[in-house]
Amino acid sequence: MAIRKIIRMGHPVLRKEGKKVPIKNIKSPEIVSLIKDMHETMKSSDGIGLAAPQIGESLQLAIIEIPEDSPRYPGTKKSDLLIIFNPKVTILDKKNQGYWEGCLSLPGLRGYVERPRKIRVDFLNENGEEVSLKLEGFLSTVFQHEIDHLNGKLYVDRMKDPKKFSYTEEYDKYHSDEGENFSE
């Protein structure tokens, strides 16, 4: 296991569509060890999500784990480690919700992004089983942020108002009462 370097905006891999992971490869030693590296890397950055392209692996693989009693996100429940291969998002409610998002590949920055509030995500888990989840609120935004990474997108692509783009320090000072936030 190893903590891997998280690549930052400007690195071309973040702009590439990740390759689908064939179901027969999901339990291969390479993928199992990649998931371990991703989990360690995410925890070492206090993250709640990480996509494989963020450590330079252009694959359709992301992980999400909401820690217990996260003081940053009151009201969210602890989740198991969710391992997500080849996901597909279906929008169930076009009504948007906005969060000030942060991303491990854009350290020190925050931007206000609106996304559909209710989605269904279909994906394969670490056992190659098909999973379908209906998500709303916080988790809907977290999943969409991670899945964007698998398609070469960053949250800046989805921002509508450049005035709502800020360094974290200034965000904390001047914008933290302007709605909810989420930092990968």
Q: Which residues are catalytic?
A: 146
The pairing of strands 82-102 and 49-51 is: unpaired
Cβ atoms within 10 A of the Cβ of 70, count? 14
Pick one of 14, 61, 147, 184: the residue that binds Zn ion (CB under 5 A): 184
Q: Where does the chain show beta strands of DSSP type E? A: 49-51, 61-64, 82-102, 109-124, 130-136, 165-167, 181-183
Closest-CA residue to 67 (of 85, 55, 81, 51): 81
> 128 vs 156, which CB is nearer to Zn ion?
156
> Which CB, 103 or 147, lies closer to Zn ion?
103
Residue nearest to Zn ion according to CB distances in the complex: 103
- 103 sits near Zn ion (criterion: CB under 5 A): yes
Query: Is 101 a residue that touches Zn ion (CB under 5 A)?
Result: no
Min dist CB 106 to Zn ion, Å, is: 7
Span from 30-38, 91-99, 103-111, 156-164 in contact with Zn ion (CB under 5 A): 103-111
Which chain residues interact with Zn ion by CB under 5 A? Answer: 103, 184
